[in-house]
Amino acid sequence: MQSTFSHVPSQPPQSPPQAEDAVPIQEQATWMAFGASSTLPSADDVNTIGSRGSKAGKRPAARATAFYPRKRANTACQVCRARKTKCDSAIPSCSYCVSVGATCIQSPVDLSSFDPASIKILGRLDDLERILKDLPAAVKENESSPRASTSEQQPPSATSATPTSATTYPDPEPLCAWSHANHGRAFRPAQQMSTSTAAGPGDVGLRTCNVLPQRVDHILSWPMFRTEMEGLDGVGVDAVANRGFKPWSGGTPSLLSLLESDAGQINRLLDNFFTYVHGSNPILDEPSTRRLVKETIGDGLDWSSSSCLTLIICALGCIATPFGPGGVMRPTAHTDSQVLFEASQKRIGSLLVKNDLTTAQCLFLSGVYMMYMFEPVYSWRFFLQALAICQTLPSIVEARRLGSTPATPPASHELGNRYTQEQAVYWSSWKSERELRVELSLPDFESRDLGITLYPPFFPTPPISNEDAFDKSEAEASRAREAWLFYLADISLRRLTSRMCSAMLDLERAAPSNTEFLMALLKMIPDYEFQARQWRDNLPEELSLAGSIETDNINQFVLRGKMLNFFEIIYWPFVVGSLSRLFASIPVPPDFHDIVTRGLDTQLMQIRINETGFMYRHHGCFFMIRSCTRSALVLLAASKVGAVVPMDWDLQVLKVARMQSYWEEEDVEAKTWRCLIERELSAMSR
């Protein structure tokens, strides 16, 4: 019987020479798309691929369309090519040109034999090689350039530089060497980084990471602080995150001696809590909470959520003090509060399987206590757990369902108070968790979106006024009113700040160059300043910021600081851009002089308005230390590069160092920052 394949010649036609392990482009793309970790093809699949139209044991002939044509590249030099002789293509001169003394002109590498992907890879490698070759020269030039301390030549300042229109400004070294991926490495020196590829002449050295104010560890990686960090023990965010909470191990006072000695002791703790702690986050109803605490202690502590809440409130009442320099804790206050808090934590575990208001309140107040103790990671965990519990609370579910229009609170006074408390603990947990998330820069919880999704779509509902209620004293009613006025003012400013940050980031992404971004932002600043002043002017009398800083209470102190943070964000890109230019001895455009001056003045005011609370322990003390440290470092950097700094800036920076010395036993990073600031000030005074 004649073979079916008799028409096939015994010797197949010769196919073009291929690489030994060549794989069709379609198959290469498939393997590259799935990556090394993808599931490998089965044996049947391999057999199928290997048997397409070819004999068994023979390598299949590839389709012509699956391969790029390969041809021998012409590598002979121009002389040998003209003579039509073989060239050994030696570098830098071939053998024939060396023998005759001719100039060997070799053509660039012919890429005709490479596929597009290889050409792209080679192009990227060429870019990397060029950057690495230029890096030593740029670093050497920066190190040899004159600084502000040189008497022979002053570098251009933010107010004296007047560049001509014909001047072409190279891109200076941006003050940013950290990314979200390496946030944990403490004080890594900044590296030479180019600005946007779209940057044109006159571009300020600015990157997206510099659009908004940075963390202190980012600022310490700026090039002007490279040598100053040598010899200092860098701490960084990882040390804060990895520090374990140390439970009290001394002589443990009994709970009976702390809570059941007399009614006056309980009233004092409750007064401290509601006067100095609760006003910043009014998540409780004061009259009903006072009754709950007294009844729980009178009946005896058990393992219920009421006992857990009672112990946390009393723990915070132990360490809460009046605002101002005179607010000093009792000698045993820290020990007593820790005993009470640890007792509450023995009861909080059983609450995690419950979805009720008291559980969320216990978790949130536990986070507040941890902030008092400078334990930000543990605090963030509590806030996150409280926020998770809030997701199933009835009022939050209804508000989410209705979107930006909150539901009408119940007419009943009791149900209305519960409705208010649910929304308050949700908002407090949300904003506290977000603040710590940004500061800690946790890998799986990064806040990249600063738009409308950064805050809930509704305001919390204030408590229902009940004129017939006789269980609330005049002092309690006054505290509740001021607390909620502060609460709503804080939230409104936070939403205004979030919208501004979102607009700035969108503007930066859309701008073709850094200079055009700053020019566009410069036109928007008057409107942002007007909105901030309008917010300030609309504050109620109890929270008015028209008075002097010395007369502020704790709520005015916090609001004044947050309003200044708003202005700091507006001016930040101009301040960082000018410092980057001056560090590279490049003039700052005259259009930015005034705004840079305002930005540096804002950094100085940041220290001045917080001075009253330098030694005051409160929920936001952790953030205050970092905010003032950032301002001090910016002023130091401005002085080092020759910018015009505000008068008496060094005295204010020295006050920050003293504040860091006060807290360095509890805040692990404060000591490193203090040593750097003191070293810098000492070097400048010589």
Q: CATH code at 92? A: 4.10.240
Q: Higher-confidence residue: 448 or 444?
A: 444
Q: 215 and 317 in one domain?
A: no
This prediction has a pTM of 0.69
Residue 492 has pLDDT above 80, yes or no: yes
Q: What is the pLDDT of residues 112-125, one digit of tens each?
A: 566 777 777 887 88
Residue 572, domain member (yes or no): yes
Closest CA to 580 of 142, 163, 149: 142
pLDDT at 384: 94
Sign of CA dihedral 196, 229, 573, 138: negative
- Cα 434 to Cα 354: distance, rounded to the nearest angstrom: 24
Residue 162 has pLDDT above 50, yes or no: no
Q: Higher-confidence residue: 137 or 383?
A: 383
Host H or E run for residue 337: helix 333-348
Residue 311 has pLDDT above 50, yes or no: yes
Residue 628, domain member (yes or no): yes
Residues 6+ apart with CB under 8 A from 472: 286, 287, 480
pLDDT band at 59, cuts 50/70/90?
Answer: low
pLDDT at 468: 45
pLDDT band at 315, cuts 50/70/90?
Answer: very high
How far, rounded to the nearest angstrom, does the alpha carbon of residue 525 sit from its chain's CA centroid? 23
Number of domain units in the chain: 4
pLDDT at 147: 38
Q: Which of 62-76, 282-296, 372-386 is predicted least confidently?
A: 62-76
Residue 430, domain member (yes or no): yes
pLDDT band at 529, cuts 50/70/90?
Answer: very high
Q: Kindly state the percentage of the chain with pLDDT values over 70.
A: 66
Residue 84, domain member (yes or no): yes
CA 328 → CA 8, 331, 432, 502, 620, distances in Å? 100, 9, 25, 41, 17
Q: 434 and 323 in one domain?
A: yes
pLDDT at 25: 40
Q: What is the pLDDT of residues 607-621, one digit of tens each?
A: 999 999 999 999 999
Which tokens sit at 308? 């857990």
Q: What is the pLDDT of residues 14-51, one digit of tens each?
A: 444 444 444 444 444 333 333 344 444 444 443 444 44
Q: 509 and 391 in one domain?
A: no
Closest CA to 373 of 413, 415, 345: 345
Q: 657 and 511 in one domain?
A: yes
pLDDT at 237: 52
Q: What is the extent of the structural domain holding 84?
A: 77-107
Q: 418 and 329 in one domain?
A: yes
- Cα 75 to Cα 109: distance, rounded to the nearest angstrom: 7
Place of tokens 């979805």: 355
Q: 640 and 496 in one domain?
A: yes
Q: Which of 190-199, 292-301, 389-398 is predicted least confidently?
A: 190-199
Give the burial class of 550: count Cβ atoms within 10 A of its Cβ; 0-12 exposed, 13-18 middle, 19 or more buried. Answer: exposed
Q: Highest mean pLDDT: which of 62-71, 579-588, 627-636?
A: 627-636
Q: 551 and 620 in one domain?
A: yes
Q: Higher-confidence residue: 210 or 384?
A: 384
pLDDT band at 465, cuts 50/70/90?
Answer: low
Closest CA to 586 of 161, 74, 72: 161
Q: What residue ranges in 307-453 does DSSP mark as E strands?
A: none
Q: 652 and 514 in one domain?
A: yes
Residue 624, domain member (yes or no): yes
pLDDT band at 5, cuts 50/70/90?
Answer: very low
Residue 650 has pLDDT above 50, yes or no: yes
Residues 6+ apart with CB under 8 A from 385: 352, 363
Q: 603 and 454 in one domain?
A: no
In contact, 125 and 111? CB cutoff 8 Å: no
Q: What is the pLDDT of residues 191-208, one digit of tens each?
A: 333 333 334 434 544 454
Place of tokens 């690495």: 132
Helix axes 554-583, 474-510, angle to 10 degrees: 20
Residue 147, domain member (yes or no): no
Q: What is the CA radius of gyration of the chain?
A: 34
Closest CA to 684 of 626, 628, 641: 641
DSSP single-letter state for residue 149: T
pLDDT at 145: 46
Q: 402 and 277 in one domain?
A: yes
Q: 429 and 552 in one domain?
A: no
Residue 150, domain member (yes or no): no
- Cα 622 to Cα 616: distance, rounded to the nearest angstrom: 11
Q: Kindly state the percentage of the chain with pLDDT values over 90.
A: 38
Average pLDDT, the chain: 76
pLDDT at 14: 46
Helix axes 305-319, 357-372, angle to 10 degrees: 30
Q: What is the pLDDT of residues 218-257, one digit of tens each?
A: 899 888 887 666 555 555 555 555 555 565 545 455 665 6
Q: Highest mean pLDDT: which of 89-93, 355-359, 460-464?
A: 355-359
Q: What is the pLDDT of residues 357-366, one digit of tens each?
A: 999 999 999 9
Residue 113, domain member (yes or no): no
Residue 535 has pLDDT above 70, yes or no: yes
pLDDT at 200: 42
Host H or E run for residue 258: helix 255-259
Q: 394 and 517 in one domain?
A: no
CA 494 → CA 353, 450, 451, distances in Å? 32, 11, 12
Residue 515 has pLDDT above 60, yes or no: yes
Q: Which of 138-152, 246-260, 491-505 is predicted least confidently?
A: 138-152
